[in-house]
Amino acid sequence: MTDARTKDLLTPLFDSNPIMLQILGICSALAVTKTVATALTMSAAVICVLVLANTFVSLIRNHLPRHIRLIIQITIIATLVIVVDQVLRAVAYELSRQLSVFVGLIVTNCIILGRVEAFAMNNGVRASALDGLGNGLGYSWVLILVGGIRELLGTGKLLDVSILPTVAEGGWFEPLAIMLLAPSAFFIIGLLIWGLRSWKPGQKEAAEFAPQSVAREVEPQ
Amino acid sequence: MAERGGTSGTWWQRFTALPNNSARKTIIVTLTVALVCSVLVAGSAVLLKPLQIENKETARRSHIAALSHILEERYGSQIPITLEVRLIDLASGVVVTNVDPVSYDQRRAAADPARQVMVPADQDLAGLKTRAPWAVIYIARRAGRLEMVMLPVRGRGFGSMLYGYLALGADLEHVLGLSFHEHGETPGLGALIDSQDWKRRWRGKIIRDGGIIKLGVAPGPVDPSSELARYQVDALTGATWTGMGVTNLLHYWLGPHGFGPYLAKLREGV
């Protein structure tokens, strides 16, 4: 792989992470991160859709009439999502029941339309596929990390294997019930963003306004 | 918009030479994408259907097994629990013997205009419109003694049809379990009808108070000291419509247009 290719793949992981920097795909990141298993399944589904949507759109990008390009893009994305949903229902029924509507809602996930419109429309097939994979992985590691934290602290388990023995099972760990509720994902993602921006200060956004200092309110005599 | 497509070369060259915004290219691209996408969607739906049906069937079976497991919890597993399948004529409450219950598809019969029974609007609490004339029920016995009757129930929840089983104890007056194996309720709200915690709350609830069905979901939390605590379970937060749907379907299926006639016959028989 050339440097440019590696960059397509790696930039979305940390430098331009779809969840952490662009703050996209938050809805599903809150909803499906109760357990690692659902986060993994959702990640796989999003990676599939993202890579394939980017590939197909990039293939026909030179022949897309500009005024109907969004309709065509959404049609392609929706088709891929339906196929992925059908496959999940056939091979992973219990997980697809837990994910319920959220697989179908990948259609409206801004990450996918964003990558298709911003990248695949202007780049070659291989670069687009790699960009899709990179963004998919960038989305996935956040999802899996949040899912891991929530499942571990909420139930004492990871992938249904007991890690911290809970009080109910005769151990010492008192599960944190809030971890099983959606707000906890907000807190965890917020903390992760804080951590990432401390590590890479370039991601900090400029302040929209300067807090007024108290000293200035004192009238000079 | 001027059509500047060349007139020489193969059709493919002529097509690619068309300006992207020309009407002809717009229509060709739209139709092609629509065609390819519809083939993919239809193909995946049709090819994967057998697997999906099998999955639903497995889920249904596991819910039946979980309900009969309640008996094992109570009595231990020394004496095995046997399950018996029966086909019931709902209107008369008579057992249908000339048809194999395993081969009877209740859901298909409810949708088949030749077989379906219309549910009168004033009795249609569960929002069914039609139901099958017969129902496949399960009877769990232990050492030959009837211990549990599992009745298939169905009704409209908030945004979807709920399919489940209501398990009644041997006296046919109290509930042993209620479990929904298929529904499309909101995750985290209505979908909690499938949660272990809520399912467990149904155990031991009494169905009737002097002939009137009182079993159902309370409008809010149930005060354990109140009279209604014998009949009602706590509502699910944020799922008012789902709870009302569950109450309504229980009233319908336990009522005269549902399993009422069969339960009356069974009560006389035992």
Residue B270 predicted with pLDDT over 60: no
Contact call for B20 and A65, based on CB within 8 A: yes
**Which pLDDT belongs to residue B222?**
87
What is the number of alpha carbons within 13 Å of residue B70 lying toward its C-beta? 26
Contact call for A90 and B56, based on CB within 8 A: no
Tens-digit pLDDT profile for residues A202-212: 888 888 888 77
- Percentage of residues in chain B having pLDDT higher than 90: 58
- Percentage of residues in chain A having pLDDT higher than 90: 48
What's the domain range around B137?
Answer: 57-267
Residue B220 predicted with pLDDT over 70: yes
Number of other CB atoms surrounding residue B171 within 10 Å:
11
Distance, CA of B84 to CA of B137 (rounded, Å): 8
Q: Please name which of A196, A134, A163 lies closest in space to residue A36, comparing C-alpha atoms.
A: A163
Distance, CA of A154 to CA of A134 (rounded, Å): 30
- Percentage of residues in chain A having pLDDT higher than 70: 95
Enumerate the residues of chain A whose CB falls inside 8 A of the CB of residue B16. 63
Instruction: Give this complex's ipTM.
Output: 0.80
Determine the 3-state secondary structure of B153 from DSSP: strand
- Asked if residue B189 is part of any domain, the answer here is yes
Kind plus residue range of the DSSP H or E element containing B138:
strand B134-142
pLDDT band at A13 (very low <50, low <70, confident <90, very high): confident
- Asked whether the beta carbons of A115 and A54 are under 8 A apart, the reply is yes
- Asked if residue B230 is part of any domain, the answer here is yes
pLDDT band at B5 (very low <50, low <70, confident <90, very high): very low
Distance, CA of A116 to CA of A73 (rounded, Å): 7
Enumerate the residues of chain B whose CB falls inside 8 A of the CB of residue A94. 59
- Asked if residue B25 is part of any domain, the answer here is no
Q: How far separated are the first and last CA of chain A, in Å rounded? A: 68
Identity of the residue in B29, B48, B58 whose CB atom sits nearest the CB atom of A87 = B48
- Asked if residue B42 is part of any domain, the answer here is no
pLDDT band at B2 (very low <50, low <70, confident <90, very high): very low
Mean pLDDT of chain A, nearest integer = 88
- Asked if residue B40 is part of any domain, the answer here is no
Residue A179 predicted with pLDDT over 60: yes
- Asked if residue B238 is part of any domain, the answer here is yes
- Asked if residue B12 is part of any domain, the answer here is no
Residue B87 predicted with pLDDT over 80: yes
Mean pLDDT score, B236-264: 93
Distance, CA of B96 to CA of B262 (rounded, Å): 11
Q: Please name which of A156, A145, A81 lies closest in space to residue A111, comparing C-alpha atoms.
A: A81
Tens-digit pLDDT profile for residues A20-78: 888 888 888 888 888 899 899 999 999 999 999 999 999 999 989 988 999 999 999 99
Identity of the residue in B20, B22, B41 whose CB atom sits nearest the CB atom of A64 = B20
- Asked if residue B137 is part of any domain, the answer here is yes
Considering only alpha carbons, which residue of chain A is nearest residue B42?
A: A83
Identity of the residue in A68, A89, A90 whose CB atom sits nearest the CB atom of B26 = A68
Tens-digit pLDDT profile for residues A161-174: 888 888 877 888 88
Contact call for A65 and B51, based on CB within 8 A: no
The alpha helices in B181-239, defined as continuous H runs, are: 196-200
Mean pLDDT score, B24-51: 94
Enumerate the residues of chain A whose CB falls inside 8 A of the CB of residue B26. 65, 67-68
- A 35-74: CB under 8 A from B: 60, 62-68, 71-72
pLDDT band at B148 (very low <50, low <70, confident <90, very high): very high
Residue A214 predicted with pLDDT over 70: no
Overall number of domains in chain B: 1
Task: Tell me whether B77 touches chain A (CB under 8 Å).
Answer: no
Residue B7 predicted with pLDDT over 70: no
Backbone angles phi, psi at B152, to 5 degrees: -70, 130
